[in-house]
Amino acid sequence: MSFYRFARSVVYIILRPIYRFNVIGKENIPKKGPVIICSNHISNLDPPVVGITCPRDIYFMAKEELFKNKFLGGLLLKLHAFPIKRGMKDRDALRSALAILKDGKTLGLFPEGTRSKTGEIGKGLSGVGFFALRSEATVIPCAIIGPYQKGKRLKVVYGKEIAMDDLRENKVKASEVTNVIMENIKQLKAKYS
């Protein structure tokens, strides 16, 4: 068993009894091929929750500052996280993300770029649309419906694949693709709240 799978099992055992999450739509995630999971962002616990509820291993971007501590940085790398510089174009992170998708793996993204303090879904960053357009990945919207409170049920909803063929063929702007993705996340949240 890989370290990632072991850690995922441990985190599941810890978080499951606290948040009693209900996972809906796992069957919408393809078993093979490149996938981008795009989720809203309401808590620091979102990456591990998406990581333990998605049936596939997921790679996440994490802010570069987290990797400055050698122990934490090493641990994050083993958990399939890779660094990104915030507030600027980070070509290394972009290349890493595209390479993950080219290898047929799963990339987890939080399009808002930061946690929502109100729980409402904010505006997405155009980088998400860039990855969707520049790869052959299946794009799956995900809505995390809180709150993260002990004893309250947390929902993690994976929606159906977002049709990307027309958007790619028509060379739609990355920001417009991001808007389509965010709208899908909002619809999931509205439907299952």
Q: What is the DSSP string of 53-90?
A: HSSS-EEEEEEGGGGSSHHHHHHHHHTTEEEE-TTS--
The pLDDT of residue 22? 95
The pLDDT of residue 87? 57
What is the Cα 150 distance to its own chain's centre?
23
Q: Is the pTM of this model over 0.75?
A: yes
Q: Residue 51 is encoded by which pair of tokens? A: 């990581």
Numbers of helices and strands, H then E, in the chain = 7, 7
Q: Domain count of the chain?
A: 1
For residue 70, the domain's CATH number is: 3.40.1130.10
- Which range of residues forms the domain containing residue 31? 3-192
The pLDDT of residue 81? 92
Query: Can you tell me the distance from the alpha carbon of 58 to that of 72, in angstroms, rounded to the nearest whole number?
Result: 18
Tens-level pLDDT at each residue, the chain (193 residues): 899 999 999 999 999 999 999 999 999 999 999 999 999 999 999 999 999 999 999 999 888 888 998 898 899 999 999 988 765 567 888 899 999 999 999 999 999 988 888 888 999 999 999 999 999 999 999 999 988 998 889 999 999 999 999 988 898 999 999 999 999 999 999 999 9
Q: Residue 154 is encoded by which pair of tokens? A: 């947390």
The pLDDT of residue 117? 83
The pLDDT of residue 88? 52
